[in-house]
A and B are shown apart, each in its own frame.
Chain A
């Protein structure tokens, strides 16, 4: 085996299929998107090279910045909700009764497809027949909010299912990481008289800080490119009140037939995510991992 692997040609051969697939399916389209972003193109007829005009328009496009702001809000909320997931995981990993069952309950939303979740929450938010407003009227609130129709509420109304949807994913990551912490450390701390809160803060969290960083990056990237629930539940409406960058890009390219501009938005989104990822890595980088 070692002999085969030391042959450079074999290495090239084995990595070639995957490399080719990634190149043709991911990297070539990215380069093409960047190229289309320099064009005035309706996606159907001929293209015309216009240089950076699309990007110049982008900077003055209030709708784009509005959707970027919404994406940023979503990223902040997602990162904030990580604290909630972490708390839940700490409790679940603390050998409480029924932890196994709770873990499964939290995981279930992950098994549903986005469209099913969207349909479910559209019904929950239904202005007159929805569970939410039925409940609110039953406890005496006369004019319950029109969740998906109210421009000031709609964005937050959609954040709830998005955060709910990913709970299981993050909880399972944290749970696995916490379970990996050697029992001896916790026992030693207990003998020294540390309270559960101290154990969590001083021992457990530092030990899984690597995982926490990864989840922050995942949450931010996932939020910035988020699309599906918003597309199904409101289609970015009413009048762009729940538009995010990805849904705006889709609308430009496929509804307004402005492929060139849509590609520019897509490419900008990619660059933005790269920068943000880099910044987060930089900000959370520590000199050495905690070891006990």
Chain B
């Protein structure tokens, strides 16, 4: 009896082990056979195309982004109809989890065939690790490059080769509440001095001038970016970051100084360094703050979102960030940048299909995303053809007329420097550092990163 039970136990556990190891083996076999398929296709085009699976990972779950999710699913169905031999397997994760998962799978070289990436600083390590495939050949076909808004592809390029196609493009206008402006008798500011006057009038009247959730840090960065742009033109900041200039440039120091001037004028909501962007937005949406600087991704809240009271949506308009007297900046220059884009994995077994999918997706997304999901795509939108609220059209027109788009600082910098930048932004707004220290810390971090 004893012997027998021992043996059966032994058998059971070995069976378990074998099952476990079999799981591991399965995957590699799959990959190997898929490789063969691909080679077969290359050598003999006429051969019947075998069934392939295309793994696609995105970050728009059905629950939190239902419109995005629906468009994605429709595009995939369409693509599968056009290419009957391809099955697209979707994996959906929320933003933060998505970023973490992408990093984890990339370190074991198991990226999905197609996935989403952010531009510049985020994308670079992946490109340097040879994980993303260059997409220039896909862009040359049908002159697809011309469909994109100028400057967007560049944000996904390393050494002049494009590694992802943009799906989103955002600029950051200053949204304001017309009802509050009327109540306090203030006009849309055209210069920085006007802005300070508006701020004074509002805060003396007991109204919070600006909603800012600086716990998230990039929100405060937007204000700094604009001031740097208006004072020094886009060149000052860009050259500091690409190291042809220095961050201790007096124009960049002055921009930091202006931030603290605004803080001293009680421009921002109290406790802003401890508030998240969501909490700050809630104050703006409840009419407790007059202005709010945020990316155009928030437009649906002020136009089409039925959950927001009509009266509030009607009272919201936007203005371009005011000019600074004596500054080199141009009022038509925007802070903004592409959001996510689609990449193809370098080690994908189905690269051709993946590239075709990325192309198809980007084109279709460009046609549908504004109207159906309120997302401004990376491809140009003909504002005469789409049926959208005026506020939306205005922003799209501004985008088409933009003289320049300065990429969000935390996207433009490498991740280590961006961390320093974001921390310094909090200190600057909290007046824990002087503008000079702010600039020097940036300069040190940038030098170290070189």
What is the size, in residues, of chain B's interface with A at 8 Å between Cβ atoms?
Answer: 37
Q: Are A13 and B274 in contact (CB under 8 A)?
A: no
The residue that B274 contacts in the complex, of A17, A46, A147, A257, with Cβ under 8 A, is A147
Q: Map CB proximity to B onto A191-209 as digits: 1 under 8 Å, 0 otherwise.
A: 0000000000000000000
Complex CA gap A125/B273 in Å reads: 13
One of A83-91, A175-183, A234-242, A276-284 contacting the partner: A234-242
Given the complex, which residues of B lie within 8 Å of A254, measured CB to CB?
Answer: 99-100, 103
One of A2-10, A159-167, A266-274 contacting the partner: A2-10
Complex CA gap A10/B270 in Å reads: 67
Task: Give the residues from 233 to 275 in chain A that come closer than 8 angstroms, CB to CB, to chain B.
Answer: 234-235, 237-240, 251, 254-258
Q: Are B416 and A127 in contact (CB under 8 A)?
A: no
A255-B415 contact given A127-B275, A146-B271, CB 8 Å threshold = yes
Q: Are A44 and B125 in contact (CB under 8 A)?
A: yes
Q: Are B125 and A42 in contact (CB under 8 A)?
A: yes
By secondary structure, the B interface counts as: helix
B419 adjacent to chain A (CB < 8 Å): yes
Given the complex, which residues of B lie within 8 Å of A127, measured CB to CB?
Answer: 269-271, 274-275
Kindly report which residue of chain B lies nearest to residue A41, judged by CB atoms.
Answer: B107
Task: Give the residues from 223 to 278 in chain B that come closer than 8 angstroms, CB to CB, to chain A.
Answer: 269-276
A240-B423 contact given A45-B125, A148-B215, A257-B125, CB 8 Å threshold = yes
In the assembled complex, the CB of B147 is this many whole angstroms from the nearest CB of chain A, namely 30
B383 adjacent to chain A (CB < 8 Å): no
A10-B274 contact given A238-B430, A239-B432, A240-B423, CB 8 Å threshold = no
Q: Are A237 and B416 in contact (CB under 8 A)?
A: no
A43 adjacent to chain B (CB < 8 Å): yes
By secondary structure, the A interface counts as: loop
B13 adjacent to chain A (CB < 8 Å): yes
Kindly report which residue of chain A lies nearest to residue B424, judged by CB atoms.
Answer: A239
Given the complex, which residues of A lie within 8 Å of B279, measured CB to CB?
Answer: 122, 126
A149-B6 contact given A13-B13, A42-B125, A255-B415, CB 8 Å threshold = no
A113 adjacent to chain B (CB < 8 Å): no
The residue that B6 contacts in the complex, of A10, A126, A251, with Cβ under 8 A, is A10
Q: Are A239 and B423 in contact (CB under 8 A)?
A: yes
Kindly report which residue of chain A lies nearest to residue B430, judged by CB atoms.
Answer: A238
What is the size, in residues, of chain A's interface with B at 8 Å between Cβ atoms?
Answer: 37
Given the complex, which residues of B lie within 8 Å of A4, measured CB to CB?
Answer: 2
The residue that B103 contacts in the complex, of A7, A16, A43, with Cβ under 8 A, is A43
The residue that A146 contacts in the complex, of B99, B128, B274, B426, with Cβ under 8 A, is B274
Complex CA gap A7/B258 in Å reads: 79
In the assembled complex, the CB of B342 is this many whole angstroms from the nearest CB of chain A, namely 18
Q: Map CB proximity to A onto B48-69 as digits: 1 under 8 Å, 0 otherwise.
A: 0000000000000000000000
Given the complex, which residues of B lie within 8 Å of A44, measured CB to CB?
Answer: 103, 106-107, 125-126, 128-129, 131
Q: Are A148 and B274 in contact (CB under 8 A)?
A: yes
Given the complex, which residues of A lie within 8 Å of B427, measured CB to CB?
Answer: 238-239
Q: Are A237 and B273 in contact (CB under 8 A)?
A: yes
A151 adjacent to chain B (CB < 8 Å): yes
In the assembled complex, the CB of B438 is this many whole angstroms from the nearest CB of chain A, namely 11
A154 adjacent to chain B (CB < 8 Å): yes
Given the complex, which residues of B lie within 8 Å of A45, measured CB to CB?
Answer: 125, 128-131
Complex CA gap A46/B109 in Å reads: 11
Q: Are A9 and B6 in contact (CB under 8 A)?
A: yes
In the assembled complex, the CB of B283 is this many whole angstroms from the nearest CB of chain A, namely 8
The residue that B215 contacts in the complex, of A7, A9, A234, with Cβ under 8 A, is A234
In the assembled complex, the CB of A37 is this many whole angstroms from the nearest CB of chain B, namely 15
Q: Are B2 and A146 in contact (CB under 8 A)?
A: no
B386 adjacent to chain A (CB < 8 Å): no
B158 adjacent to chain A (CB < 8 Å): no
A-B contact pairs, 6 of them (CB 8 A): A43-B103, A44-B106, A44-B129, A148-B215, A149-B274, A254-B103
Interface, chain A (partner B; CB < 8 A): 3-4, 7, 9-10, 13, 16-17, 42-46, 122, 125-128, 146-151, 154, 234-235, 237-240, 251, 254-258
Closest 9 CB pairs of A and B: A127-B271, A45-B129, A148-B274, A149-B274, A149-B273, A146-B271, A238-B273, A239-B427, A238-B426
Known: A4-B2, A42-B125, A238-B274. 11 other contacts (CB 8 A): A13-B9, A42-B129, A43-B125, A44-B125, A126-B279, A127-B269, A127-B275, A128-B271, A146-B273, A148-B274, A256-B419
